[in-house]
Amino acid sequence: MGRLIYHGHSCVELTSADGTRLLIDPFLTGNPNADVGPEHFHDRLDYVILTHGHADHIGDAWSLVERTGATLIATYELASYAQEVKGVVNAHPMHIGGGWDFPFGRLKLTPAIHGGKVESDGAEAYTTIPAGVVLAVDGTRVYHAGDTALTRDMELLEGQVDIALVPIGDNFTMGPEDAGRAIRMIAPRVAIPIHYATFDLIAVDPERFRTAVGGAADVRILGPGETLEI
Ligand code: NI
Ligand code: MN
């Protein structure tokens, strides 16, 4: 059985039964709500997955992949930046709509409506399209929406997701009511709010999300460091 651990903001750790360890959007250093620092992952990290290039999602990605040898999974432009500018050795470029069968399971990038700037030094030429990600870990299908508006494209995920992590912070992404509509479109078993409460501009009460979801999914509001068996 795998585990999902929330580390605050949009940072989500997934581990599979065989010990494979994945980290999505590793914003730890400088994240006031992170429960751990990057050193927590130095003993083992197999994959770092970036939904897009904003600083609150890249976070510690470059130092983590250098330190651990983890493979970076990102859109082509972001993966190219990592390789050409940051010297990242193991990068797997992908793009929206494409999937790949990794040793841990299948991973597919989904559309996300948001900004494409890559916020890291020397990144001027590397704008990209933000992504969401659907990945299977030990057969459990997890959707991390990245930063996105509500979009009808989410209807295409209906029946394909067991656990959905969706931004609810408003201002930069969906707010809790639109996120509730997203969950009703996707119809996952479990819905988890992310990307809220980190900064004043996204200070949203997650209970609004629970109300907006209604009975459409089992809403789990995870505090930083909390684990969900998957
Ligand atoms: Ni963003
Ligand atoms: Mn963000």
Interval between CA 147 and ligand 1 midpoint (Å): 5
Ligand nearest to the CA of 56: 2
Neighbours of ion ligand 1 (CB under 5 A): 54, 147
Q: Over 80: is that where the pLDDT of 1 sits?
A: no
State how far the Cα of 59 lies from the Cα of 163, in Å rounded to an integer: 24
Confidence (pLDDT) at 218: 98
Q: Over 90: is that where the pLDDT of 131 sits?
A: yes
Sheet strand arrangement including 163-167: 99-102, 105-111, 131-137, 140-144, 163-167, 190-194, 218-219
Interval between CA 32 and ligand 1 midpoint (Å): 17
Q: Mind listing the pLDDT tens digit for each residue in 12-30? A: 999 999 999 999 999 999 9
Average pLDDT of the residues in 141-170: 98
Q: Mind listing the pLDDT tens digit for each residue in 106-116? A: 999 999 999 99
Q: Mind listing the pLDDT tens digit for each residue in 195-225? A: 999 999 999 999 999 999 999 999 999 999 9
Ligand nearest to the CA of 9: 2
Q: Over 80: is that where the pLDDT of 44 sits?
A: yes
State how far the Cα of 103 lies from the Cα of 69, in Å rounded to an integer: 16
Interval between CA 189 and ligand 1 midpoint (Å): 26
Confidence (pLDDT) at 9: 98
Average pLDDT of the residues in 113-131: 96
The 10 Å CB-count burial string (b at 16+, else e) for 50-88 is bbbbbebbbbbbbebbeebebbbbbbbbbbbbbeebbeb
Confidence (pLDDT) at 136: 97
Interval between CA 192 and ligand 1 midpoint (Å): 18
State how far the Cα of 169 lies from the Cα of 32, in Å rounded to an integer: 15
Report the chain's mean pLDDT, rounded to a whole number: 97
Confidence (pLDDT) at 103: 96
Residue showing tokens 């990057």: 38
pTM of the model: 0.98
Q: Mind listing the pLDDT tens digit for each residue in 4-13? A: 999 999 999 9
Confidence (pLDDT) at 39: 98
